[in-house]
Structure 1
Amino acid sequence: MSFKIAIIGAGSVGFTKKLFTDILCVPEFTDIEFALTDVSEHNLQMIKAILDRIVEANRLPTRVTATTDRRKALEGARYVISCVRVGGLEAYADDIRIPLKYGIDQCVGDTICAGGILYGQRNIPVILDFCKDISEVAETNVKFLNYANPMAMNTWAAIEYGKVDTVGLCHGVQHGAEQIAEVLGAKSAQELDYVCSGINHQTWFIDLRLNGRPIGKDELVAAFEAHPVYSQQEKLRIDVLKRFGVYSTESNGHLSEYLPWYRKRPDEITRWIDMSDWIHGETGGYLRYSTETRNWFETEYPQFLEAASKPIDQEKRSNEHASHILEALETNRVYRGHFNVKNNGVITNLPQDAIIESPGFVDRFGINMAAGITLPEACAATCIASINVQRMSVHAAISGDIDLLKLAVLHDPLVGAVSTPEEVWQMVDEMVVAQAAWLPQYAHAVPAARERLSTSQVKTREWAGAARRSVRSIEELRAEKAALKQAG
């Protein structure tokens, strides 16, 4: 087979490498073209050198090109994969820093909450630019695979406004299933059969079977509470499991910021999180991790390049959906996964226009969702609260309506639990002014927002958050890795 895959945001070096090697694990896909594009020429050249080394080491006919000209990369592409972060770490730092001034303590801030909503405002205009180029220069039946957060908002905009055949992809379901299999004593996640449904990052394991045996709430709670690690790292998820009756896919830290109950007061935050790793609830944890990862890669790049000389190990193909979807579409080998698509009746008790994440099957006829799923009422209620925020956020990003943007932020569950309307109005003004370079649709609103900020009487506070850690230096990271290697 010979076709072209374009990867937008290919400068996300580690993730691009994973997608690349996964796809090349499909025997029929060796003679294809990968067109890499990014706004960073520096990152593009680094990832191209790594992928070229992989191709050379494995003696493959695969072609790799790299360009900052997005339309050129998209020309004739059958598949387009996006993993962009508009504004990079600079804008992301504001997504965490500014809400903290108003008492909003986020662990990740990339899905909803104040940070995720502003992230969506930066991404959506760019997503629509992608869709325009895809429609004009890619293959007629091109499929757009979106990995970028905020997943639901980006996918919503691409489908409703970009009019491109789009599916959103995430690995939260797979990771949650691996946890459940482990606590239940399974030898591998393959022994676990499950139905997991909801919206991205708020997906729920509503049916669990281990080797065909149904697993109920009480057994699952007992298994998690008996686990020596997860009982400490996932305290919040376990509490939600006890109250809702089903386990959530999302990590302790992520889930905590989508709900109005666990991060509303600093003393409550420290009660529910775990500081053994960023993902369990640390203030700005993913920002710290992303910063350290970038610095580490820049410093240790020669080692990454050397590692690319090893043969591709078919056994290490990851459970990221992209390669499996492409394999199913091109070879008709059926693949079952969990996909972000427009609801259209798939989940009976969520809005029809929402972007849901639910089970589906892929073959040469496309992605076919398993319809007629009904969520437990508490799960549906929690999802609907987020969906309403996502809908307003998408419409604000499209229209450039700063008042609608403020209403979207006001209705966010955690923001509403922490901040007053006056604080939300000022916070959004401050974030729009700080991120104006990436928010062209709000250019008309920036002067008035800046004027309001100059006369505002709303008080803020300067603090690091309830559980903040400093970014570690390269030397500290190297020492830590060495210690782990020696201990292991």
Structure 2
Amino acid sequence: MSFKIAIIGAGSVGFTKKLFTDILCVPEFQDVEFALTDMSEHNLQMIKQILDTIVSSNKLPTRVTATTNRREALTGARYVISCVRVGGLEAYADDIRIPLKYGIDQCVGDTICAGGILYGQRNIPVILDFCKDIREVAEPGAKFLNYANPMAMNTWAAIEYGKVDTVGLCHGVQHGAEQIAEVLGAKSPSELDYICSGINHQTWFVDLKLNGRKIGKDELVAAFEAHPVFSQQEKLRIDVLKRFGVYSTESNGHLSEYLPWYRKRPDEITKWIDMSDWIHGETGGYLRHSTETRNWFETEFPQFLESASKPIDRAKRSNEHASHILEALETGRVYRGHFNLKNNGIITNLPADAIIESPGFVDRFGINMVSGITIPEACAATCMASINVQRMSVHAAISGDIDLLKLAVLHDPLVGAVATPEEVWQMVDEMVVAQARWLPQYADAIPAAKERLAKSTVKTRDWAGAARRNVRSIDELRAEKAALKQAV
């Protein structure tokens, strides 16, 4: 088979390499063309070197091109994959730093909460530019696979306003299932059969069977509490399981910032998180991790290039959905996964316009979702709070209405648990002004926001958060890696 796959944001080097090797694990796909595009010529050239090395080492006919001209990359593409981070680490640092001045402590800040909402404001105008290019120059009927966060907002905008065939993809469901399989003593995650449904990053394992045997709440709680690692790393997640009766897909740190109960008091935060890794709730944990990963990659690039010379091992194909979806669409081999699409009755007790994440099957006829799923009322209530914030955020990003943006942030569960309306109004002004270069839709609102900030009497504080770690140097990372290798 010969067709073109465009990857926007291909400078996300590690993730692009994973998607690339996954796709080449499909025997029929070795003759495809990959068109890489990114704003950073430097990052593009690094990833192209890696992918070219994989191609030559495996003696494949695969073609790899790289350009900063997005339309050129998208021309004739049958599939477009997005893994962009608009504003990069610079804007992301403001997503964490500014809310901390108002007492809002985020672990990740890329889905909702103050950081995730502003992330969406930066992304959505760019997503719509992608969609315009796809409509105009890609292969007719091209499919847009969005991996970029905030997943629900980006996918919502692409479907409703971009008018492109779009599916949002994430790996939270797979990771949650791996955890459950481990605590239940399964030999392989494949022994676990499950239905997982909700919205991205708030998806719930509403039905679990291990080798055909139904797994109930009490057995699952006992299994997690008995696990020597997860019992410490997932304390908040286990507490939600006890109260809601079902397990959440999302990590301890992520889940903590979507709810109004666990991160609103600094002295309470440390009770629910674990500092062994960023994903378990550390303040600004993903920002630190992303910064360290970028620094590490720049320094250790020769080693990454050397590893690319090894043969592709099809047994190590990852569980990221993209390659499996493409395989199913092109070959007809059926794939079952969890996908982000507009609800329209798939989940009975969530709004029709919401972007939900739920099970579906893929074959030559497309993505076919399982409809008529009803999630537990507590899960639906939690999802509804986020959906309402997402809807307002998308509409604000489309219209450039700063008042609607402030209302969206005000209604965020964690923000509302911590900040007053006056504080929220000032915080949004401060974030919009700081990120003005990535927010063209708010250009007319920026001058007035600056004037309000100059006259404001709302007090802020210089606060690093309840559980902040410093970014480690390359030497520190290298020493820790060596020590871990020696311990093993």
- Indicate the SS of the match to 1:173: helix
Query: Pairwise CA RMSD of aligned residues?
Result: 0.2
Deviation digits for residues 131-170 of structure 1, max 9, x if unmatched? Answer: 0000000011100000000000000000000000000000
What is the alpha-carbon distance in structure 2 between the residues aligned to residue 265 and residue 89 of structure 1? 27
How far is the alpha carbon of 1:426 from its aligned partner? 0.0
How far is the alpha carbon of 1:308 from its aligned partner? 0.5
How far is the alpha carbon of 1:330 from its aligned partner? 0.2
What is the alpha-carbon distance in structure 2 between the residues aligned to residue 267 and residue 324 of structure 1? 44
- Indicate the SS of the match to 1:347: coil
Deviation digits for residues 346-366 of structure 1, max 9, x if unmatched? Answer: 000000000000000000000
What is the aligned length?
488
What is the alpha-carbon distance in structure 1 between the residues aligned to residue 37 and residue 464 of structure 2? 36
5+ residue gaps, structure 2: none
Deviation digits for residues 30-87 of structure 1, max 9, x if unmatched? Answer: 0000000000000000000000000000000000000000000000000000000000
- Indicate the SS of the match to 1:444: coil
Q: 2:174 maps to what in 1?
A: 174
What is the alpha-carbon distance in structure 2 between the residues aligned to residue 4 and residue 268 of structure 1? 51
What is the alpha-carbon distance in structure 2 between the residues aligned to residue 187 and residue 95 of structure 1? 41
Q: 1:254 maps to what in 2?
A: 254
Deviation digits for residues 432-476 of structure 1, max 9, x if unmatched? Answer: 000000000000000000000001000001010000000000000
What is the alpha-carbon distance in structure 2 between the residues aligned to residue 173 and residue 268 of structure 1? 28
The percent identity for this pair of structures is 90
What is the alpha-carbon distance in structure 2 between the residues aligned to residue 92 and residue 130 of structure 1? 21
What is the alpha-carbon distance in structure 2 between the residues aligned to residue 53 and residue 328 of structure 1? 27
What is the alpha-carbon distance in structure 1 between the residues aligned to residue 308 and residue 234 of structure 2? 35
What is the alpha-carbon distance in structure 2 between the residues aligned to residue 40 and residue 331 of structure 1? 34
What is the alpha-carbon distance in structure 2 between the residues aligned to residue 386 and residue 86 of structure 1? 22
How far is the alpha carbon of 1:235 from its aligned partner? 0.2
Deviation digits for residues 156-207 of structure 1, max 9, x if unmatched? Answer: 0000000000000000000000000000000010000000000000000000
Deviation digits for residues 259-291 of structure 1, max 9, x if unmatched? Answer: 000000001100100000000000000000000
Asked whether 1:399 is paired with 2:396, we answer no
Q: 1:30 maps to what in 2?
A: 30
Deviation digits for residues 351-404 of structure 1, max 9, x if unmatched? Answer: 000000000000000000000000000000000000000000000000000000
What is the alpha-carbon distance in structure 1 between the residues aligned to residue 47 and residue 272 of structure 2? 39
How far is the alpha carbon of 1:345 from its aligned partner? 0.3
TM-score normalised per structure 1:
1.00
How far is the alpha carbon of 1:110 from its aligned partner? 0.0
What is the alpha-carbon distance in structure 1 between the residues aligned to residue 18 and residue 46 of structure 2? 15
Q: 1:480 maps to what in 2?
A: 480
What is the alpha-carbon distance in structure 2 between the residues aligned to residue 323 and residue 148 of structure 1? 16
Deviation digits for residues 395-444 of structure 1, max 9, x if unmatched? Answer: 00000000000000000000000000000000000000000000000000
How far is the alpha carbon of 1:230 from its aligned partner? 0.2
What is the alpha-carbon distance in structure 1 between the residues aligned to residue 5 and residue 194 of structure 2? 31
- Indicate the SS of the match to 1:360: strand
Q: 2:129 maps to what in 1?
A: 129
Q: 2:316 maps to what in 1?
A: 316
How far is the alpha carbon of 1:258 from its aligned partner? 0.1
Q: After TM superposition, what 4+ stretches of structure 1 lie above 2 angstroms from structure 2?
A: none
- Indicate the SS of the match to 2:185: coil
What is the alpha-carbon distance in structure 1 between the residues aligned to residue 448 and residue 141 of structure 2? 44
TM-score normalised per structure 2:
1.00
What is the alpha-carbon distance in structure 2 between the residues aligned to residue 50 and residue 377 of structure 1? 48
- Indicate the SS of the match to 2:389: helix
- Indicate the SS of the match to 2:116: helix
What is the alpha-carbon distance in structure 2 between the residues aligned to residue 155 and residue 269 of structure 1? 31
- Indicate the SS of the match to 2:443: helix
Q: 1:467 maps to what in 2?
A: 467
Q: 1:51 maps to what in 2?
A: 51
Q: 2:379 maps to what in 1?
A: 379
